[in-house]
Amino acid sequence: MRLLFLGLVALLAYFLLRKLLKNYQFSRKNQVIDTRRMVRCAHCGIFLPESEALTEGSHNFCCREHRELAKSDKG
Ligand SMILES: [Zn+2]
């Protein structure tokens, strides 16, 4: 009877661990997608990671020069 109980506990722990591991992998996957999100420079059209892009309003730029150029284009 004791062995049965131990087996049950082990089984429960196994399933719990599997679920936790799945959740962990899932959140890690989401994070990777998030950091690799690409945006487009509104001036030259080059693609770059969102984390490296400069934003001005709703536009993204690859560098400060392009941001300034786009600003002066508008007048
Ligand atoms: Zn650019």
Greatest C-alpha distance within the chain? 83
- CA–centroid distance, 29 to ligand 1, in Å, is 29
Q: How far is the C-alpha of 18 from the C-alpha of 36, rounded, in Å?
A: 27
Lowest mean pLDDT among 2-16, 24-38, 55-69: 24-38
Compare 1 and 5 and report the one with higher pLDDT: 5
Ion ligand 1 residues within 5 Å by Cβ: 41, 43-44, 62, 66
Q: Mean pLDDT across the stretch 17-40?
A: 76
| Residue 32, pLDDT above cutoff 90 | no
Residues in the chain: 75
Nearest Cα to Cα of residue 56 among 41, 46, 44, 45:
41
Task: Give me the residues paired with residue 65 across strands.
Answer: none
